[in-house]
Chains A and B, each alone.
Chain A
Amino acid sequence: NAGVTQTPKFQVLKTGQSMTLQCAQDMNHEYMSWYRQDPGMGLRLIHYSVGAGITDQGEVPNGYNVSRSTTEDFPLRLLSAAPSQTSVYFCASRWTGGGGANVLTFGAGSRLTVL
């Protein structure tokens, strides 16, 4: 059981380049999300999805796109990378049943540097 798999683990981009961070989960979780983590700040929600075909914006969605064509996959696209997007990105998933079922399982993280 792999859990949440994120790729790539490290990436260096130049300003203006685009890229996709991949995320896949094999736990049949309805809810999937992308966070970014910056020093001295809490995890900030970028986009999330409560099921295939449904996506919504989080706290910091600008500059990012997502899609959810299957239950398993939730890629995050950077449209035109900027230095402000240098961060560690985490994909996370959970059930939507409420209570203790709302525990998030995180991927290993993707460290992105934009020059």
Chain B
Amino acid sequence: GQNIDQPTEMTATEGAIVQINCTYQTSGFNGLFWYQQHAGEAPTFLSYNVLDGLEEKGRFSSFLSRSKGYSYLLLKELQMKDSASYLCAVMDSNYQLIWGAGTKLIIKP
């Protein structure tokens, strides 16, 4: 079957760095996506990886290793507004997204 695993919850301190991991097993691979979802709101797109390596976008970076079925989202200089759930999703061979359950990130002052 297809499976996406990510930690349920993480806690970090304002100004620090946090890494959210995602491992996947899917039927085919057509890219990995990270979305941010604030409580009571819709998911919004953060990053996309299809080739191995690191993609940097401001305070956020996303890494992919296709051979290991592994990705991480790195958030630097954490701000209180980064408190949200972070969703990992993989696009399979049918171009459908398989979603992880999300990681709730709690930022403490």
Contact = CB atoms under 8 A, between A and B. Distances in A.
Interface residues of A, number: 21
B99 A43 contact: yes
Contacts of A102: 30-31, 33, 48, 91, 95
Interface stretch (A19-27, A62-70, A76-84, A104-112): A104-112
Interface string A44-55: 110010000000
Given A40-B101, A45-B96, A45-B97, A103 B33 contact: yes
Contacts of B87: 42-43
Q: Which of A45, A58, A100 has the most CB of B within 10 A?
A: A100
- The residue among A40, A102, A107 with the most chain B CB atoms within 10 A of its own CB is A102
A99 B50 contact: yes
B11 interface: no
A69 to B, nearest CB: 23
Contacts of B31: 99-100, 102
A17 B102 CA distance: 32
Interface residues of B, number: 23
Interface string B80-109: 000000010101000111111110000000
A41 interface: yes
A99 B50 CA distance: 8
B44 A106 contact: yes
B91 A106 contact: no
Contacts of B43: 43, 90, 104, 106
A49 to B, nearest CB: 13
Contact of B42 (A42, A44, A90): A90
Interface string B11-49: 000000000000000000011010000000111110010
B75 interface: no
A13 to B, nearest CB: 20
A106 B97 CA distance: 13
A112 to B, nearest CB: 14
B42 A107 contact: yes
Cβ-closest 3 pairs across A and B: A42-B99, A106-B42, A43-B99
